[in-house]
Amino acid sequence: MNIKREIPLLIVVLIPFVYLAYIWNSLPETVPIHWNYKGEIDDWGNKSSLIFLTFLLSGLTYILFTVIPFIDPKKRIQAMGKKYDNLKFLMVLFMSALAVFIIYSVKEQSITNPSFIILAIGLLFMLLGNYMKTIKANYFIGIRTPWTLEHESVWKSTHKLAGEIWFIGGLAIVISSLTTSKDFNGVFFISVTVLLALIPVVYSYLEYRKLKK
């Protein structure tokens, strides 16, 4: 592990914790911990739960992406080199930014624009789409079905397709979040996300069947 390369990442991880500590005394003991797709508060909890939430988002993401290359039995992830490092930074940055946004929303007890989170996830889908075809076959990240893991050709073709549809789907989500109502945007986001998850799985099975025939 390159310690110098990890320092910027650790700073990004710590930002939401520092922000939470800064506003801690101004928070009431009971705070909103969940909003519906309209931005309305629908659950409350103790403010100490924010510490755990922040750890789950930024801290755990960093830990997982740091540990995975060392426990990958085939060392395929390490072969990705800087592409994996960039993916790791992207995910940690996104999760830390999301944690800051949630903490700010808790402080204000309002999400002024619920579509912001959906827009951000749409951008994340677009960026992940660009990384899909660079992911080597492994047991931890990517479209890990029995069929992609058994045949490298199925892995490659599935991730090529997934990369294309994730980029297009992410772009559609971004456009929807900027141009449609909150009600439609929420339904559209869920629908697109389900399709992005299911299509590569079905495609990998069909490709596997082709090889068997």
Q: Quick one: pLDDT at residue 27? A: 86
pLDDT at 33 over 90: no
Q: Quick one: pLDDT at residue 73? A: 80
pLDDT at 94 over 70: yes
- pTM value is 0.83
pLDDT at 19 over 70: yes
> What are 34's strand-pairing partners?
43
CA–CA gap between residue 52 and residue 31 (Å, rounded): 14
Map residue 167 onto helix, strand or coil.
Answer: helix
Lowest mean pLDDT among 41-45, 79-83, 185-189: 41-45
Q: What confidence tens digit (pLDDT) does each residue in 144-185 have?
A: 999 999 898 999 999 999 999 999 999 999 999 888 877 788
Map residue 42 onto helix, strand or coil.
Answer: strand
Q: Quick one: pLDDT at residue 36? A: 67
pLDDT at 29 over 90: no
Q: What confidence tens digit (pLDDT) does each residue in 120-143 have?
A: 999 999 999 998 988 888 888 899
Q: Quick one: pLDDT at residue 69? A: 87
Domain boundaries, the chain: 1-112, 113-213
Buried b (16+ CB within 10 A) or exposed e, 36-65: ebebebeeeeebeebeebbbebbbebbeeb
